[in-house]
Structure 1
Amino acid sequence: MSAMGGHYRGAVRFFDHLRARLSWWDGRIRSLLFDLVAALITIRFGVNLETALTVPNVGLLIAAVLAFVVRRRFPWLPVVATAGLATFTGPAAAASVAAYTMARRRGPSTQLWVAGGLLAAVMTAHTYQQFPQDLHIYAIASAATAGVAMLLGLWVFQRKMLLVTFRERAEQAERERDLLAERAVAAERRRIAREMHDVVAHRCSVISLQAGALTLTAPDERTGEVAEVIRKTSATALTELRSMLRVLREDENDGPGEMSGELASDPTLSSIRRLVADSVESGENIRLDLPDPLPETSSEVGRAAYRVVQESLTNAAKHAPHAAVHVEVTAEDGDLVVTVSNRRAPGTGSDAVPGSGYGLIGMRERVTLAGGALRNGWAEDGGYRVRAVFPLQ
């Protein structure tokens, strides 16, 4: 299908390029020149200056010329006008224009053959009146002249129809390609959702159940508190994961590529308090500074700011365990500034967990999509710092 669509698009591009090269000959200029030539030919060969220059004949000639001018809108008028001209002039030139117009506008239709038969009859009758002794010669010549014009009009009509067909097929191939791509994306989303449900959701459920059991059988209070934090965290992660799975699966009534809704636990700027509190409850050393009241932000900015803090705290816990972390959110000059910095981890850092680097990439993409900018790197005191700036409006 893609190869066939490519052939169609190539043909359409060829005709478009040809039309662009001949644009000076297209449109009104071409029509005006053609009408002028047709009128001059009709006047030149349509009046016998010695015998036919009378008021009725001149009036009929003017009406015929006007009929040729509006022939594109009313293709039958030149045919009727040609029949009228046959009363006092040889209609070969006018008949050629009429035949060309009818063929180009109507194509190989019944109307074309009726018009062709009428023109042939008119020309034959006029030739018999003027040249009865050479009827066959002049009749054949007149019919050939109109026939060539008719064939030329049919060629133009067929070329136009061919271009329209190529364009329609190219558009259809484009639509089918987009539809196949959308179906492939939807299938991949469903596959990812199944894998996440079967693997990640299952393991989160096991963690939550094991932590809940440890809470009931903990040998001391501190172990029970840590187990409860693990249970709550895994339960929250499981809830958010199921919400994401609903988004990935999409509702069947939604259009292709549309999200079926926001996440059930869509975070906002105020959610940072709960995020930090959960981390502190799990034993992290975090200080939070938030403005009071919180600035108003769009849902996109609030969600991105939350994810910056979340990913930064995760990275600090992995790469600098037990290090002091400072989370600061401020509103400066119409911008929302989110800064997360952590000191160097105490000890040798042997507890640090190696990372994949995808977290920072995803964080930067989120900030960029929200219209902000992200900077991250090592601080002067040897720690690490992440700073995200979002427009408030």
Structure 2
Amino acid sequence: MRAQALLLDAALVGVTLLDVLVHVDADERSRTAIALLAAASLTLRRRLPWLTFLITLPATLVSDAVFATLVALYTLASLTRRRVPLACCALAVAASDITSWSWPDPDFADLTDPVGLITATYSLATAAAPVFLGQLVQARRELSLRITEISETRENERALLAQRVLAQERAELAREMHDVVSHQVSLIAVRAGVLQVGSRDPETKEAAATIRRLSVQTLDELRHMVGVLRAGGSRPTELTPQPSLTDLPRLVDTSGIEAELRTDLPEDLSPPVQRAVYRTVQEALTNVRKHAPGATATIHVHHHDGVVRATVTNTAPCRPALPLPGAHHGLISLRQRAELLGGTVVAGPSAEGGYELRLELPAERVLPTRRDA
């Protein structure tokens, strides 16, 4: 924009110099100097419009080179809202145009003569044109700004409406989770506790204890999620700490599956990579628990040549799986998470009759922070 403005000013100065060349005799040094000064002053028209107009006005008074004065008057009209001073400036330009100033005997136009009256009318119209044009440009500029403000206001209103609708949906979802899901998980925990206390079979007691522990953990997570949903974005809410590779042993130990964990990973992997590995192992163990009852699992997580690989393999199930509800979105979510990190997830039956899930991700490292002394 600044380059365009400079080019426009240079073009106006060039046209003004051409106007001076055509209408001012080079032998008349005083008039030529006044006209050239008026042309040079156009470079100040954006920053000092009133001063520019005052400098260009004498050129109209002493010569027929009026282009610089008209440009200065247009600039003044496009930048100010003061109508009375603008009208006075236009009258001053018209009066200077109809006056032929030759010191010491200035020649004023005779307004009683038809020719003089026509000349005065033409001069008034010539002076009024840049004023009207400048005011029109100013009105267009203000209208554009107003339209932009209205558009921004409407965008803000739409955003606020969307936030309000989202807050209502979050509150309704939180209410459903609290009234339905939390209640049912609480019943599972209670029944598991009763089974743990009343059963004499060690395996049954252990299974009931696992169910009760997982139910209690699920209730804690549900309560936190309900709190996050009820906050509705109105205030900052503390989120549950995200899992990392250090949480893998506890995940395997509390999975209720006989599983072997082998890891060989550096400690400076980025949090997204660590979360992706954790969620992959978690989803794989969940699938083993649901679809391969009695199976054992092997989890191997290692790093080689800048690639993190996580493999979860389970044996064939020992007994038929119970039909459990599911949305079948687990593997899809894992693949999407891996693709976002530049990796892949492959899952399918193994040669031994079990199932295998493999994750490969580029190993993004956490850069050490340097503190300047």
Alignment TM class, shorter chain as reference: 0.7 to 0.9
Residue in structure 2 matched with residue 103 of structure 1 by the alignment: 77
| Residues 69/222 of structure 1: CA separation in 2 closer, same or farther (3 Å cut) | closer
Residues 1-393 of structure 1: pairs in structure 2 closer than 5 A: 27-45=5-23, 47=24, 49=25, 53-90=27-64, 92-106=66-80, 109-126=83-100, 129-132=107-110, 133=113, 134-250=115-231, 252-254=234-236, 260-264=237-241, 266-279=242-255, 282=256, 284-291=257-264, 295-346=267-318, 349=320, 351=322, 353=324, 355-390=326-361, 391-393=363-365
| Residues 69/228 of structure 1: CA separation in 2 closer, same or farther (3 Å cut) | closer
**CA shift for structure 1 position 86:** 4.6
TM-score, normalised via structure 2 length: 0.82
Residue 297 of structure 1 aligns to a residue whose secondary structure is coil
Give the residue type in structure 1 aligned to 2:144. L
Distance in structure 2 (CA, Å) of the matches to 1:303 and 1:93: 72
Residue 290 of structure 1 aligns to a residue whose secondary structure is strand
Distance in structure 2 (CA, Å) of the matches to 1:193 and 1:370: 31
Distance in structure 1 (CA, Å) of the matches to 2:54 and 2:268: 76
**For 1:162-209, what per-residue CA distance to the aligned partner results, in whole angstroms no more than 9, with x for missing partners?**
333333333333333334334433443333223222221222222222
**CA shift for structure 1 position 64:** 1.6
Distance in structure 1 (CA, Å) of the matches to 2:353 and 2:219: 35
Deviates more, 1:380-389 or 1:166-175: 166-175
TM-score, normalised via structure 1 length: 0.78
Give the residue type in structure 2 aligned to 1:81. I
Give the residue type in structure 2 aligned to 1:272. L
Cα contact 1:103–1:150 (8 A) shared by 2: yes
**For 1:13-69, what per-residue CA distance to the aligned partner results, in whole angstroms no more than 9, with x for missing partners?**
xxxxxxxxxx9x954444332331133224433x3x3xx944433322222221233
Distance in structure 2 (CA, Å) of the matches to 1:202 and 1:160: 62
Residue in structure 2 matched with residue 10 of structure 1 by the alignment: none
Deviates more, 1:231-240 or 1:337-346: 337-346
Give the residue type in structure 1 aligned to 2:235. N
Distance in structure 1 (CA, Å) of the matches to 2:188 and 2:346: 35
| Residues 278/79 of structure 1: CA separation in 2 closer, same or farther (3 Å cut) | closer
| Residues 71/327 of structure 1: CA separation in 2 closer, same or farther (3 Å cut) | same
**For 1:339-368, what per-residue CA distance to the aligned partner results, in whole angstroms no more than 9, with x for missing partners?**
111233235x35354642111122223334
Distance in structure 2 (CA, Å) of the matches to 1:311 and 1:182: 32
CA RMSD of aligned residues (A): 3.0
State the aligned residue count: 355
Give the residue type in structure 2 aligned to 1:275. L
Residue 313 of structure 2 aligns to a residue whose secondary structure is strand
| Residues 43/71 of structure 1: CA separation in 2 closer, same or farther (3 Å cut) | farther
Distance in structure 2 (CA, Å) of the matches to 1:43 and 1:75: 24
**CA shift for structure 1 position 156:** 2.6
Percent identical residues:
33
**CA shift for structure 1 position 370:** 4.7
- Indicate the structure whose relative CO is greater, using CA pairs within 8 Å and at least 6 residues apart: 1
Cα contact 2:298–2:313 (8 A) shared by 1: yes
Cα contact 1:212–1:228 (8 A) shared by 2: yes
| Residues 83/107 of structure 1: CA separation in 2 closer, same or farther (3 Å cut) | same
**CA shift for structure 1 position 315:** 0.9
**CA shift for structure 1 position 322:** 1.4
Cα contact 2:192–2:209 (8 A) shared by 1: yes
Deviates more, 1:123-132 or 1:113-122: 123-132
